[in-house]
Amino acid sequence: MLNDFLLGTSILFSDPVGIGLFVAGLLGGMLFGAIPGINMLTLGAVILPFTAAMSPTHAIMLYSVIYCAGVFGGAITAILFNIPGSPENAPTAFDGYPMTLKGQAGKAVGAAVICSAFGGLISCIVMMAATPLIAMWAVKSFGPPEIFGLICFGLAVSASVGAKTLWKGILSVGLGLLIATIGSDPSDGIARFN
């Protein structure tokens, strides 16, 4: 696990493009995360056409950095102005803004930096340790019946949440399924509903 982490880090930061993307994502994520109403997801949507030409490793790194920096950027406005930049930062305003009113804004922002860094580091380590185990369990446990059940559950949730009345939700899910079946069958290439 540690070897894979070190190998991935050396690949990403061995060229100037990776370092430049890291810095640009860090600054852009903090800026967009600090602006209320325009969060890091907006920046992700704006740069989506540019990432199509990037290597997958650089694109994934850029989006990860934008998200992590955006969550921290929203904490700055939550602490200083009691306006969270993103929904994740609403609890930060509960303790951070009263500290700002007491003249301890620097201490509150410093605590947010340290907590964001340690939280990100610990969650990254847990994710790296747990992902192979969860993936192995999912591959072994998820066969066709489980996938079918998951699809039915997703369609049921979409039908119940997506519309004001249940029958409209069921109708919209059914129409969506009918529209999705137009075209060639992915398994044998036979044209359907053309």
Residue ranges of domains in the chain: 2-141, 144-192
* Full-model pTM: 0.70
DSSP track, 133-176: HHHHHHHHH--HHHHHHHHHHHHHHHHHHSSSSHHHHHHHHHHH
How far does CA 48 lie from the centroid of its chain? 14
- Please give the chain's pLDDT, 194 residues, in tens: 778 888 888 888 888 999 999 999 999 999 999 888 888 888 999 999 999 999 998 999 999 999 999 999 999 999 999 999 888 889 999 999 999 999 999 999 999 999 999 998 899 889 888 988 898 888 888 888 988 999 999 999 988 886 788 899 899 999 999 898 888 888 888 888 77
Q: Is 48 exposed, middle or buried (0-12, 13-18, 19+ CB in 10 A)?
A: exposed
